[in-house]
Amino acid sequence: MVTSNDVARHVGLSQTTVSRALRGDASVTPKTRDRVLAAARELGYVPHSAARTLVTRRSRAVGVVVADLSSPIYPVIVESLQGRLDECGYRMILIRDPDEPGFENATDVLTSATVDGMLFVSARDNSAAVRLATERGVPVVLLSRDDSSVTTDVVLSDDRAAGELVVAHLVEWGHERIGVLSTPRDRSNGRDREDGVREALRRRGMQVREEWIKRTSFGHADAVRAACEILREPEAPTALFCVADSFAFAVLDAAHQLGLRVPEDLSVVGFDDSEPSRWSFVRLTTVHQPIREMSCEAVDRLVSRIETSGTHQPTTRVFPVTLRERATVARPAR
């Protein structure tokens, strides 16, 4: 079996330098690292992760906690996180959210010390999984989520600002009856997007109608039912803001079932700017969050926490959002 010593002899460098290059140490110049990696590929060198863990007491693995992978934004997040972790020399272990029913045992990964840190893409307020990880000293970063019950690094989009963007856009088109399809209140991102709409409406002296605001799970059938409840109101809203694109697709489905045309009878705005929102037969107006940049920032913060000794002051990074105007908003019907 080819060892790092074999690679070192092949390139004429010390074994220490080769080891640093193979694990992506910043002290090694890019030119030297490229030479070492090329030699490792040529010789067929495969790092022995178990041996490396014994020496460094690190697994070079990061747990990524997610909820519903059926949402179109999750594959983008996971792909972005995996790519950045790979660049940093870490493996990704995908973990279903332990706070979801049926996945409570997912936190077992913490008891066996198989991960160096955890990225929570899904976390409710007072998350038992987040609290367990932080109590055990595992470095944690929350991505597109917040949890006021713990103190840790957080990377977010400006969810409240999204509400202002959407309301301003809909009011410009002449809408006064604006509803929201949101998540349960224990999901910080959905809650903040909903509250952003509420605040934007109040600033304009407009009515906040509770019957026009429904909260639902990420399941498509549940979201369709919630949308139908709003749209069957005697005086239904003329526009709906959905705090996720997956909810917007459920509204399009509900509108079709009820014989409503989008955007002629109902305007719809989503959040995520997912790939399906850009399809030519959908063309969903939606809020764009820079999820790839956010994912890289989350990984960089976590790796820094893993590899830097000493005290750490957690911070929150908020990324701005923008509106992508497409074809699902029009003036309300008379």
Residues 171 and 93 in one domain: no
pLDDT-based confidence at residue 288 (cuts at 50, 70, 90): very high
- What are the CA-CA distances from residue 37 to residues 42, 44, 121, 278 (Å)? 9, 10, 32, 39
The pLDDT value recorded for residue 98 is: 62
- For 240-253, the pLDDT digits (tens) are 999 999 999 999 99
Secondary structure (DSSP) of 110-129: HHTT--SEEEESS--TT-HH
Q: Do 38 and 124 reside in the same domain of the chain?
A: no
Residue 326 maps to a domain? no
Q: Write out the two tokens for 52.
A: 């490396």
Looking at the structure, tell me whether residues 232 and 307 fall in a common domain: no
Residues 28 and 65 both lie in one domain:
no
Is 145:123 a contact under the CB 8 Å cutoff?
A: yes
Residue 55 pLDDT level (bands cut at 50, 70, 90): very low
Same domain, 9 and 20: yes
The per-residue pLDDT for 262 is: 98
Pair (266, 117) in one structural domain: no
- Judge whether 281 lies within some domain: yes
Residue 135 belongs to domain spanning = 57-157+290-319
Q: Within this chain, do residues 285 and 300 fall inside the same structural domain, yes or no? A: no
What are 307-314's contacts with CB under 8 Å, separation 24+? 314/151, 314/152, 314/153, 314/154
DSSP state of 275: G
Same domain, yes or no: 191 and 113: no
Are residues 205 and 109 part of one domain? no
Residue 329 lies in a domain: no
pLDDT one-digit tens code per residue, 119-154: 999 767 888 888 888 888 889 999 998 888 888 999
Into how many domains does the chain fold? 3
- 133 or 239, higher pLDDT: 239
Question: How far, in Å, are 33, 262, 330, 333 from residue 265 at the CA level?
Answer: 59, 6, 9, 6
**163 and 226 share a domain?**
yes
Asked if residue 85 belongs to a domain, the reply is yes
Report the predicted TM-score, pTM, of the whole model to 2 decimal places. 0.79
Query: Are 218 and 280 within one domain?
Result: yes
User: Pick the residue with more confidence: 188 or 180?
Assistant: 180
The pLDDT > 70 percentage for the chain reads 88
Q: Tell me, yes or no, whether 169 and 284 share the same domain.
A: yes
In a domain, 39, yes or no: yes
Residue 221 is assigned to a structural domain of this protein: yes
Residue 218 lies in a domain: yes
Structural domain contains residue 86: yes
